[in-house]
Amino acid sequence: MQLKIGVIKGDGIGPEIVTEAMKVLDRVGEVYGHTCEYTQLLMGGASIDVNGVPLTDETIAKAKECDAVLMGSIGGDAKVSPWYKLEPSKRPEAGLLRIRKELNLFANLRPAVLYDELKGACPLKEEITEGGFDMMIMRELTGGLYFGERRTVEENGVMTAHDSLTYNENEIRRIAKRGFDIAMKRRKKVTSVDKANVLDSSRLWRKVVEEVAADYPEVTLENMLVDNCAMQLVRDPKQFDVILTENMFGDILSDEASMVTGSIGMLASASLNETKFGLYEPSGGSAPDIAGQGIANPIATILSASMMLRFSFDLDKEADAIEAAVDQVLKEGYRTGDIMSDGKTKVGTTQIGDLICVNIA
């Protein structure tokens, strides 16, 4: 099979981690008889440097011609990077938000799994991690605060900033349906997370999610307030199967969930629309503090590539092979610094990629 993949290496550790994911994809191609045809695309700071803007129309058009896009991460250190002297709509992050919107990638799936082998890297007590845990965070990705009206005005010498949070019932219904569909293939539990004790948008969210739940009698729905959810994630992460939530809450809770699995460097993600197309990227950022040192963990990106094979290409066997190879490398005790614990072997970004390739046979 010919896989037409757009590649956005991005900024910071982006090029380092994407290179490893491409290496793994090529190895899968070799073993299973597929060819990956890559189209390099510029986004974020790398695009600002060349085109003056974080995303061009041409890049969007090229991305649309691909079957899927693999991405590293974008952005830099706002304290030192010249990109942050530009107005907000021209900064790296604006490119990421625009591509999500233009490609209608409303469903962001972030699987947070505690690997048995990584218990030592998890900051929670052993009695909490016993038996491991496996949750899917379903984050709405094209609505809410990220895409509401935004302005800063000065009135009578007082600066006031506005960010509006809007959801309509259709936006809520489509992500809720996707969440319940995914729950049907898992442990059949959805925890819908909102702030319905305060926000109108959350009260509508809860009403629509409850309507959708009526079509899925086998799935248990629990509503949970976001502050409680943040606490429950560290108190008892095992209780979660699918966490269904809006854009901003999902951003924050997924970073928290990543840490209870050991590191943000382990958290893959898929951003999907109504078709087979998807954008696959690690959930973490460009990690400017460690960029260029060859020490970033490439596993989240490699697991994102595996999600790509599964969702966009229906190559389940190949995706399983990547996941098994990751498991094996962790079992053998190889670790990047972010998931390091006593008695394990510390290696760099490239070595982890190489070791995963060796285990795909």
Binding residues for substrate: 100, 110, 139, 227
3 state SS of 79: coil
Give the binding site for ligand NAD (CB under 6 A).
13, 17, 73-76, 93, 96, 264-265, 281, 284-290, 296-297, 300, 338
CA distance 95 to 76: 13
3-state secondary structure 139-181: EECCCHHHHCCEEEEEECCEEEEEECCCCCHHHHHHHHHHHHH
251 binds Mn ion (CB under 5 A): yes
271 binds ligand IPM (CB under 6 A): no
Q: Smallest distance from the beta carbon of 103 to ligand NAD, in angstroms?
A: 14
Beta bridge partners of 335: 346
Length, in residues, of the chain: 361
How many CA atoms lie less than 13 Å away from 248 in the CB half-sphere? 16
Of the listed 101, 255, 327, 344, which one is catalytic?
Answer: 255
Of the listed 146, 167, 280, 334, which one is catalytic?
Answer: 146
Residue 227 a catalytic site member: yes
28 with 309: CB under 8 angstroms? yes
Residue 338 binding result from Mn ion, ligand IPM, ligand NAD, none, given CB thresholds of 5 to 8 Å by partner type: ligand NAD
241 binds ligand IPM (CB under 6 A): no
φ, ψ for residue 203, nearest 5 deg:
-65, -40
**Crossing angle, helix 299-311 and helix 349-358, to 10 degrees?**
40
Of the listed 227, 314, 316, 320, which one is catalytic?
Answer: 227
Q: Smallest distance from the beta carbon of 181 to ligand IPM, in angstroms?
A: 22
Greatest CA separation for the chain:
69
Residue 255 a catalytic site member: yes
246 binds ligand IPM (CB under 6 A): no
Q: Smallest distance from the beta carbon of 305 to Mn ion, in angstroms?
A: 19
96 binds ligand IPM (CB under 6 A): yes
Q: Smallest distance from the beta carbon of 65 to Mn ion, in angstroms?
A: 28
Of the listed 194, 251, 338, 354, which one is catalytic?
Answer: 251
- How many other CB atoms are found less than 10 A from the CB of residue 291? 18
Q: Which residues bind ligand IPM (CB under 6 A)?
A: 75, 93, 96, 251, 283
Catalytic positions are 146, 195, 227, 251, 255
Q: Which residues bind Mn ion (CB under 5 A)?
A: 251
